[in-house]
Amino acid sequence: MTEFEAVIGLEIHVQLATQTKMFCGCKPVFGEDPNTRTCPTCLGLPGALPVINEAAVDFGMRLGLALGCSLAERSIFHRKNYFYADSPKGYQISQYDEPLCSEGELAGVRINRVHLEDDAAKLVHTSETGRIHGAESSVVDFNRAGTPLAEIVTEPDLRSAAQAREWLQLLRTTVKALNISDVNMEEGSLRCDANISVRPVGQKELATKTELKNMNSFRFVEKGIEAEIERQRILLESGGTVVQETLHFDPRTGSLTALRSKEEAHDYRYFPDPDLLPVSVDSEMVERARAALPELPAARAVRYAETYGFEQELSERLGFEADLGDLFEAVLEIRGKASDPRLAATWVSGEVFSRVEQDAGSAIEASTLAELLELLEGERITTAAARQVLDRVLAEGGSPADIVASEGLEKVGGGDALAAAVEIAIAAHPEAAAKVTAGEHKALGSRRWWRGAQRNPCSPWRRVGFITWLNNPQRQRFHSQRRWSLC
Amino acid sequence: MSSDLTTLSASAASAKVKSGEVDAHELFEQWRERSRLDDLNALSWSADSVPAEIHTGGPLGGVPLGVKDLFCTEGVPSQSGSKILEGYLPPYSATVVDALAAAGAPLLAKTHQDEFAMGSSNENCAFGAVINPWDRGRVPGGSSGGSAAAVAAGLVPWALGTDTGGSIRQPAALCGVVGLKPTYGSVSRYGMIAFASSLDQAGPITNSVADAALLYSQMTGRDVHDSTSVDHPDPVSEVPAADLTGVRIGVPTELSGEGIESGVLDAFNASLELAKSLGATVEPCHLPHAPHALSAYYLIAPAECSSNLARFDGVRYGLRVDPGEGLDAMYGATRSQGFGPEVRRRIMLGTYALSSGYYDAYYGRAQRVRTLISQDFDTAFESFDVIATPTSPCVAFELGSKTDDPLSMYLSDFCTVPMSLAGIPAISIPNGLSEGLPVGLQLVGPAFSENRILGIAASLEAAIGFDGSAARL
Amino acid sequence: MIDRSEVLHIARLARLSLEETEIEAITAELSSILDHVDQISSLDLEGVEPTAHSVAQSGALRPDVPVESLGKDAVLSQAPATDGSGFEVPSPGGGS
Ligand SMILES: [Mg+2]
Ligand SMILES: [Zn+2]
């Protein structure tokens, strides 16, 4: 039985987050009223002309540099001619044989090129099914038309669907670190097509490939490529031949459908756009782009692993999410050498990250987190209390030390300290204490109280419940079961 | 009734408005009346009323302007002579139209043209052929035939045309007026409905070299909307007639012998003698690749047009013909019925020249020939100040006489196409009559030498002493 | 020079539907034009660079500063068919 291997190359389109479109001054904003972000140029009106956006060139250069590409001193925009309702001019302005960036590498996958082009409009199909076939008519919204795209083309260096997905995720974090795109697959600011072929292991030549489109999440990229590899393998094993075609992956059914047959293969008639002159990149522009490069995710992860001895997962979590990495490093900086990097790392990548998802950097100041970790590391508060303080800080702001003091969260060990803490609690919540004194406290021992206290551990009920609990003969057992804090 | 202001030259009228002698609104109104006399099908639109505001303070002093149909004019039909754009009202105006209005040349009329500027006779206009005011059985030339005929007939004081391979110069020659094709890039193309982007250039069509210089002086400058536009290193202001003493005129043998009508050649040689008598030296020169210019042009221009005209697809503006069989059928029906035969022919030719397997042989080679043609001119300008040729190999021909043979029509551009490929400026001035019909003399200079060629043209214009009044309606 | 099937292919690429009666005529016209322009194939172009533009050599870039877009009414006003918010087009999948 012949063993087969898959050969995969990716073509990734990244929408660049510039202030204006690729060739006109319209703002590429999404979710606006249809056709309200358009002008003669991006609508393809008669007589309108394109003018290249300097920020798009700058972003393209940053991307090229980040992927280890060489930058062309002179690059050219071509016209790629094709008719479709999403194409306002009847051609896309794209780079062809003289792209802005070429020959790079990311994590062992060679980059063939990075070039700039303009995005197409959005076609809304009005049929009930929402699918192209069977639709009565469609409506075109040109707001997206002309949005700058960087297209990244890899060499066919990937060998499995899982590897393709992993690599694409690294590419995403790399682009995100550059701060040039939202790189959101669901929203279409990151789009991936795959060229897939399958050949017997040991064969050098590339086999006939197919192009797989429309995979709008990382999961679908993996599933789609997997499905296509499987289809080709079965085809080859049964003595069939692969036909060069473009396929559409339907994530709901997992099925692959041919988009157009080979007789209709496009002839794009590329030629240099006569409305545009070649783009000259001088050393000043290159230096500016280079200066704007942050430390890249892969390099950062390696640095964390080497410097702090973190395992791969933790290193990558911090390295690949620039916001988290930045926060981690800022906290270490504030706390100095004496502090524990792993504590900071796990808090940043765990507690902070889970609370604020992707937005960590903007949600908490490094100094605040450093203060909190200092309290925790100095064993002045318990982990549970630290979590509460973090919740408070994220919701309302304020200083952790102040919150600990005003809420009496400091760790207590029993005896006099405990009694003093109870006195504070009673003084702070006289009404609740009065109810307890009046005998309502029995109700407080119920499960309902306990659930409520869990939901809102800093409530007066929790505090008064504590008094009740002091009278509970089981308290020593409870105490030993969980570390608690005094609210 | 005040005096007839429409008999004044544009420059003279401009001076009188600026000095306060003539009221700009009165001037506009009289020209508006004149434009109504059009029985040549020269105009596609003319103003209903006098604009409330005319920038009389500007350098052009409020002298109204005729504008070729293919310039976008906000809210005014801009159809590029095509059925596919019939009645199209753009939401913006071409940079040069706005610039001229701001300089004091308000829009008076739009002029008919060959469809998408493809043609040398104006018979390719979807709204009917324009007629030559010198002889109503003849063509005015093209593609800016409406502008040339309107200026010659006195329907507008001056006009804008565009030139891709001779479309300003050839109709100017055939109608007995002045036409300047400027250096490529010196005038913004933004808002000009494109034919061939690397060649298209707007320029003035006027009754005199002085008028051409005045109008052109307000057209130049880099436009942020056109990245192929540049600032003119030697902007034109007032152009005094040049002293021809010692001016070296080169006459390319390739463009002044074979294929030129004898009457045209006689007039050409007579003017060269005049130039000599004024102190110029006249010697033969060589543009060895000029005979290949037409071939290169008829690959490059159609290739660019096949792409430029892809946007006419029945979706956002213009004609739509929908047989109800899906998007592609709508495209096919719209474009087949919306474009005339010459436009379709050139789209086909250009699509072929760019298509897979043919690019290198056709488009790629043509771009290399273009390099050689430019180099020929560079070499010639090492020895000559200016190059002179007949503008058109023939005088105005009879309507319908060349419509069946596209290739013979293409040969009308024989003398004008090389300069377009090289992007260099060239002016056509009236050079007397042959068999009662105007002949043109073309003067060509290096890039941005407009001041020089306008000056030389002004001297020759004075010496030739052409009288165009017979064409006035 | 150019045959019927090429003419049909080119017409398809250019989205021009040709009537059966036109095909022969346009094939002949294109052949005669191509015959003429083919004279450039005799030139020795070895080492000659192509010229895409004659004058300026590289273009100025545009600063990334937004400008006002057109109003929606102006955008849709010339459209052959709209639904009030966008341009209506026949279904890309319809017909064949
Ligand atoms: Mg692309
Ligand atoms: Zn726009």
Task: Tell me B21's DSSP state.
Answer: S
A50 vs A229: CA distance, rounded Å = 41
DSSP B360: I
The neighbour count for residue B382, using CB atoms within 10 Å, is 8
Take residue C8 and report the two structure tokens written for it. 């049909």
- Which tokens belong to B417? 């196409």
d(CA B415, CA A97): 35
C-alpha atoms less than 13 angstroms from C-alpha of A396 in its C-beta half-sphere: 9
Which ligand is located closest to the Cα atom of residue A192? 1
Distance A49 CA to ligand 2 centre (A): 10
| pLDDT given for residue B56 in this prediction | 87
Give the angle subtended at the CA of A325 by the CAs of A287 and A403, to the nearest 5°: 130
Let me know if A83 is exposed, middle or buried by CB neighbors in 10 A (0-12, 13-18, 19+).
middle
Share of chain B above pLDDT 90, in %: 94
Query: Of the candidates A225, A182, A195, which has an alpha carbon nearest to the alpha carbon of residue A11?
Result: A195
Give B11's DSSP letter. Answer: H
Are B227 and A47 a contacting pair at CB < 8 A?
Answer: no
Rounded alpha-carbon distances, angstroms, from residue A247 to A197, A370, C91: 13, 51, 20
Residues 226-285 of A with CB under 8 A from B: 267, 269-271, 273-277
Please tell me the distance from the alpha carbon of residue B203 to that of residue B223, in angstroms, as a whole number: 16
Q: Which of C17, C20, C26, C91 to mutate to test the interface with B (most CBs of B within 10 A)?
A: C17
For B289-319, the DSSP string reads TGGGHHHHHHHHHHHHHHHHGGG-SSSSSS-
Query: CA-to-CA distance for B461 and B440, rounded, in angstroms?
Result: 11
Question: How does DSSP assign B43-59, residue by residue?
Answer: EEEE-SS--S---TTST
For the segment B201-215, the average pLDDT, to the nearest whole number, is 98
Chain B contact set for C89 (CB, 8 A): 315, 327, 330
Is A274–C58 a contact, with Cβ atoms under 8 angstroms apart? Answer: no
B5-247+383-412+422-471 under CATH 3.90.1300.10, yes or no: yes
Enclosing H/E stretch for A360: helix A360-363
Q: What's the average model confidence in pLDDT over B45-70?
A: 95
Q: Rounded distance, CA A42 to CA A73, Å?
A: 27
CA–CA distance, B472 with B139 (Å, rounded to integer):
16
Interface mutation vs chain B, best among A79, A266, A275, most B CBs within 10 Å:
A275
Quick check: B421 and B373 in contact, CB under 8 A? yes
Percent of chain B at pLDDT > 70 equals 100
pLDDT at B405: 85
Which residues of C, range 30-59, sit inside 8 Å of A by Cβ? 52-53, 56-59
Ligand nearest to the CA of A43: 2
Q: Could you tell me the sign of the dihedral formed by the alpha carbons of B273, B274, B276, B282, in that order?
A: negative
Give the H or E element holding residue A288. helix A283-291
The pLDDT of C85-95, averaged and rounded, is: 82
Q: What is the pLDDT of residues C26-82, one digit of tens each?
A: 999 999 999 999 999 999 999 999 998 887 677 789 999 999 999 999 999 999 999
- Token couple for A311: 């395992």
- Those residues whose C-beta lies under 8 Å from the C-beta of residue C61, and which sit 6 or more positions away, are A51, A52, A53, A54, A57, A279
Q: Which residues of A touch B327 (CB under 8 A)?
A: 84-85
Q: What is the mean pLDDT of chain B?
A: 96
Residues of C in contact with A288 (CB under 8 A): none
Name every chain B residue with its beta carbon within 8 A of the beta carbon of A263: none
**According to the model, what pLDDT value does residue A457 have?**
44
What pLDDT score does A262 carry? Answer: 43
How far does Cα B69 stand from its chain's mean position? 12
Of C50, C52, C95, which is closest to B329 when you measure between CB atoms?
Answer: C95
Q: What tokens were used for B449?
A: 């030498």
* pTM: predicted TM-score of the whole model, two decimal places: 0.87
Q: Residue B218, SS3?
A: coil
Closest to A41 (Cα-Cα) out of B199, C54, B227:
B227
Q: In sequence order, what are the residues at sequence separation of 6 or more whose Cβ sits closer than 8 angstroms to the Cβ of residue A262?
A: A243, A244, A245
Neighbours of B449 (CB within 10 A): 20
Q: Which residue of C has its CA nearest to A285?
A: C61
Averaged pLDDT for residues B198-205: 98
Q: Can you give the pLDDT at residue B246?
A: 96
Which secondary structure element, helix H or strand E, spans residue B347, and what is its range?
helix B341-354
Q: Which of A34, A54, A132 sits opposite C62 (nearest CB)?
A: A54
Tell me the CA distances in angstroms from A206 to A155, A210, A262, one per residue in order: 12, 12, 19
With an 8 Å Cβ cutoff, are B296 and C51 in contact? no
Chain C positions touching B369 (Cβ under 8 A) are 40, 43, 45
- Ligand lying nearest the CA atom of residue A78: 1
Q: Is residue A282 within 8 angstroms of chain C, CB to CB?
A: no
Q: Map residue A151 onto helix, strand or coil.
A: strand
Angle at B41 between CA B36 and CA B43, to 5 degrees: 55
Residues C41, B365: C-beta atoms closer than 8 Å: yes
Residues of A numbered 113-142 whose beta carbons fall under 8 angstroms of chain C's beta carbons: which are they?
123-127, 132-142
Q: Tell me whether residues C37 and B295 touch, CB distance under 8 A.
A: yes
Residues with CB under 5 Å of ion ligand 1 are: A 151
Ligand 2 center from residue C80 Cα (angstroms): 21
Closest-CA residue of chain A to C67:
A25
- pLDDT recorded at residue B16: 96
Domain borders along chain B are 5-247+383-412+422-471, 291-367
pLDDT band of residue B390 (cuts 50, 70, 90) is very high
Beta-carbon separation of C94 and A135 below 8 A: yes
Which-ligand-closest: CA of B92?
A: 2
Residue partners of B436: CB distance under 8 A and separation at least 6: B134, B135
pLDDT > 50? residue B208: yes
d(CA B468, CA A483): 107
Q: Is the peptide bond before B143 cis (omega within 30 degrees of 0)?
A: yes
> CB A61: neighbour CB atoms within 10 A?
26
C75 in contact with chain B, both atoms CB, cutoff 8 A: yes
Whether B356 sits inside 8 A of A45 (CB atoms) is no
**ipTM, two decimals:** 0.97
**Segment-wise mean pLDDT, segments of 10 residues, chain A, 487 residues:** 91 97 94 94 98 98 97 96 96 97 96 98 70 69 97 97 94 94 93 96 93 90 95 93 91 82 71 95 95 91 92 89 86 87 91 69 80 89 88 87 85 53 65 62 45 45 51 40 37
